[in-house]
Copies of this chain bind each other. A is one copy, B any other.
Amino acid sequence: MTSRREAVREILAGGEGFRSAQDIYAQMRANGAKIGLTTVYRALQALADAGQIDVLRTDDGESVYRACATGGHHHHLVCRRCGRTVEVAGPAVERWADAVGAEHGFTAITHTVEVFGTCPSCAALTAAG
């Protein structure tokens, strides 16, 4: 029983976009894995704590997870239509956030940035239909 976390991580690594804990759980069960929802949550938390996966909240309050392609700090450009995501590095934002914080005397600055848009494919679809 090599920690189920491995299994969870592999599921995430095997996919592309963000997935919710519930989805991951369902998929694992579908794959025949014997795992509980509780454990999925715990694995996800551990992975997130270890910085091995990305976490972000959808607008309706659900947490979604995704394997981190690049180890470093980065943000996401998410298609609001199909959910396709692109990891983007944004040195400019990092600097801006730090500057803004410093300007007001804040320390230990962190920030969350998510960019949403309509990806080319979906834009085409929208135009067509």
- A interface residues (Cβ-Cβ under 8 A, vs B): 57, 59, 61, 63, 77, 79-80, 86, 88, 90, 92-93, 96-97, 100-101, 104-120, 123
Known A-B contacts A101-B77, A113-B111; the reply to A118 vs B106 at CB < 8 A is yes
Q: What would 10 more interface pairs be, CB under 8 Å, given A57-B57, A88-B104, A100-B115?
A: A57-B61, A77-B100, A77-B104, A93-B93, A96-B96, A108-B123, A109-B117, A110-B117, A111-B114, A112-B113
Closest CB in chain B relative to A38 CB, distance in Å: 18
A88 to B96, CA, bound (A): 11
Q: CB-CB < 8 A to A123: which residues of B? A: 105, 107-108
Which chain B residue lies CB-closest to A96?
A: B92
A32 to B59, CA, bound (A): 33
Which chain B residue lies CB-closest to A91?
A: B96
Q: CB-CB < 8 A to A112: which residues of B? A: 112-114, 116
**Could you tell me if A117 and B96 are in contact, using CB atoms closer than 8 angstroms?**
no
**Could you tell me if A120 and B96 are in contact, using CB atoms closer than 8 angstroms?**
no
